[in-house]
Structures are given as C-alpha cells and as structure tokens.
Amino acid sequence: MSETSPAAVVILAAGEGTRMKSRTPKVLHALSGRSLLGHALAAAGELDPQQLVVVVGHAREQVSAAVAESAPQAAVVVQEHQLGTGHAVRMVIEALGVLPGTVIVSYGDMPLLRGRTLGELAARHAEAGNAVTVLTARGDFPGFGRIVRDADGAFLRIVEERDASEAERAIDECNSGCYAFDGALLADVIKRVTTNNSQHEEYLTDVVEILRNDGHPVGTVLAAEAAEIRGVNDRVQLAQARRALNDRILLDFMLAGVTITDPASTWIDVTVTIGQDAEIGPQTQLEGATVIGPGAKIGAGCLLADTTVGEDAELLQAVCRQAEIGPRVTVGPFAYLRPGARIDADAHIGTYVELKKSHVGVGAKVPHLSYVGDARIGAGSNIGAGTIFANYDGVRKHPTVVGENAFVGSNTVLVAPVTIGDGAYTAAGSAISADVSAGDLGIARGRQHNADGWVLHNRTGTSSAEAAARTRSDRSK
C-alpha cells in the first residue's frame, strides 16, 4: 500500500439483476475466468486501496462468500433495501465512518473496466484537487446520463436520458456512474441527497450536483476505451462482454509474441499464462490457472483447465484438467488427461488414451486406446494398445507400478494392486493380477483351442458357413 493509494474503493454489488432471469446472482455470472464481481475486485485491487469495500444486498450470503474467497481483505457492507446508488454509499459511510482521502466508487457488473483506468481516475482527481471526478466515455450508450458542458467545455451537470432534451440526448459523452470523491466531502453531502425523483431513490449523480452547486471543483476523466463503462444486465450483454474481453486478452497475447491461428474460435481466460512463441490452434479453450510454456503448440480443438504445459510440447484435440505436461511431450489426438495426470519430458500420450492421477515417466509411451488410473509408469516404458489399468475393485482404488523400460503387450489388463518390474514384459491379451519381476515375461491367458468345423455345424446357411465351405473344398482338391 503506497502513499498514493486511494482511501477506499467501493464496489456496488447489491442489485438483484432480474433481467438475467437466473437463480445465480447477477454479479456471480462468469466470463473469462472470473465472475463479474471477480473482475471488479481484480480491477480495484490494482489500485492497492487502503480499504476495499463491497456493498451487497440481493443474495447477500452467496455474494459475501464470493467476496471472502476472492478478496478476503475486503469489508462487506449490507444494503438491506436497494434504494439507489447514493443510498448504497450512505450505508458504507454509516457502517465504516468517514473515509478521508480519495474514495473510488465502481460497480460489480462492469467486467471490462480496467484497473489502470480507475488508477488514472484516482490520480487525475488527486492532481486537480477536485471534490469529485466523473469517469466518462464517448459513444452510443442508451439509457446513460449525458455530460453537459458550458461554452468553454467545463463540466456543468449530468442529465439523465429520461430527463434530457433532444439536444442533450445528442451529446455523445456519457456518465459511467464511476466516480472519485473527496471522502470527507462525500460523507457530508451524502446526507443531503433526497428521493425527490420518479424512482424515489437516492442517486450519486445528486452528490455531484450538490458539490458543484456548493462551489466545489468537479472534473472528468475520459475512458480510453469506451466499452469499459458498459455494464451487464442480461445474457445478451454478458455474451457481448465475454466476446469483448476475450478479444482484449487475445490481442495482448498476440502482441506479446503468441501465435493465435483463429482468434474468432479461441477462448482464453484472463487468468491464463502463455509463453513466447507458443501457438494456439483454432477451437481451443484455455481456462483457469493454465500455463502454456514457450514454443508449445496447443490445438486444434483442445480444452485445457488449470493445466501446465511444458516448453515445446504439442497437444492436439485433447481435454486436460489439472494436469502437468512436461517439455516436448506430445498428447492426442482425442486424449483425456484428468486431475492428477503428470507427464514427464519427451513422453507420448496418444489417441483415445485416458489418464487419471497417474505419473508417466520420461520418454514413456501410451500410444492408443488405453485407460491409465492411479498408476506410475517408469521412464522409457511402452504401454500397448488397448491396455487397461484396472484400479477400482468396486470399493477402493488401488495403485499400479510399471518399472522403467518395461513393455506391456497390447490388450493387457493390469489388475491393481500390481507391479511390473524394470525391463519386464507382459504378453498381449494377458490379465495380470500378480507382480511380474524385473526382466520376466508375464503371461496370463488360456491356451487357444480351435473347434474343427464349428461354423459349418452351428451356423448352417449363413454367409460365414458358405465362405468356410468354399475354402475347405478348395483345400481338399
């Protein structure tokens, strides 16, 4: 916390958000790796405020729990009845007292608002010595208040759209609803706000008007990106915000040296980290705390959540959740790495392979059509096609250990708990339920018996019987 940190950032998040038509509180709807409120908290946190405050009301228990998880240092203030933005701020002051210094007010449903924009608002406010500084934007914002200026361009007032004249509605500079206040003045003036309006609510815009009428300086800061002030009130706006935020994330990565083949079909959470020279293919989703190493190639068609991918690894059409993938590993196509999968350097996980809570050693291979659960596979080992690690006995999970440079034959079932020693083999088609020592060959299958003429006797009249009869006739000539 620095000397220039604002005294407080107050996030208003008490509204019900009925237009979302959802059982989930509006501010807890997710986009790009965080909830709407989570984005607001992250932006506020960039200012390192002396106090972070969230005003809750509707579904307060759920929203308060989300605040405690994302920003445990934040104070939560309850607005019992949602009687306007001014009323919400008054509840903060009544609960916490006067907040001397700069107080920033923002909202829990503005996910595109950047921390640096709030930081500029706070800095310009302090430099100018304003009583209040209004964050504005230029553009088409239906329903937003307009910024009215005098002939010299100085701030005069905010006029709400429903009260604006035709000329005022043509003004393209709009009020975001976000402000920087002098905390002491705010505490005094907030008590003078009335409910003399059509909604019978207390509005923060009235605080701005009162301060100006009292002769205090009022300023504005124009947001560099107009979309930052857009709020989310329904599912359509949520999708629009998600698209806009994703485009911003992709742009930042591409400018940092990441190749994104098809930005239109690529979705990346704000919490993801990607190294230089990585390549992200089309129809790929990177979620949560995923980390992609330099030079790694992801895609097409990958979904990675909370997964680490090492340098120069290559994944294709893979689903990976809470997995660790080492350098130069190849995965896919159509592989599924479940939580706890750990793949060491230079290993290969192939087509239709599923791993769960398993460690695959350096250079080992699980090429195709296998399930590996609760296992450890040593360096250099090869797991044949169709191998099943039978880890579950119906009650408990059991481990399987495959040593280094072992060879598990195709279509083997390893019935856990079991150990295959270093350099050991299993014969194809075996059901191995006992340990195989280092260097041994494990065979567990019945001896083949061919019943002579079975098809001719038991499938008379079928195409198989006819084919068999022709061949046997030809052999007898």
* Contact yes or no for 379/405 (Cβ under 8 A): yes
Cα dihedral value 198, 203, 208, 210, nearest 10: 70
Residue 451 to residue 139: CA distance in whole angstroms? 83
Nearest one of 381, 447, 385 to 411, comparing CA atoms: 385
* Contact yes or no for 325/344 (Cβ under 8 A): no
CA distances from 196 to 95, 184, 192, 203, 204 (A): 24, 24, 12, 10, 13
* Contact yes or no for 355/374 (Cβ under 8 A): no
DSSP E strands in 99-243: the ranges are 102-107, 132-138, 146-149, 155-159, 173-182, 218-222
Amino acid letter at 111?
A: P
3-state secondary structure of 22: coil
Q: Which residue has the tokens 């706890």?
A: 340
The count of other CB atoms within 10 Å of the CB of residue 458 is 10
Residue 185 to residue 7: CA distance in whole angstroms? 13
Q: For the chain, first and last CA: distance in Å?
A: 97
Helices (H), 352-477: 454-458, 463-476
Q: Which residues are catalytic?
A: 368
Cα dihedral value 113, 14, 269, 302, nearest 10: -150
Ramachandran region, residue 199 (left: φ > 0; alpha: ψ -120 to 50; beta: rest): alpha
3-state secondary structure of 62: helix
Q: How far is residue 414 CA from its own chain's centroid?
A: 37
Listed in sequence order, the residues at least 6 apart from 290 whose beta carbon sits closer than 8 Å to its beta carbon are 269, 271, 272, 273, 304, 305, 306, 307, 308, 309
Q: Token pair for residue 28?
A: 């807890």
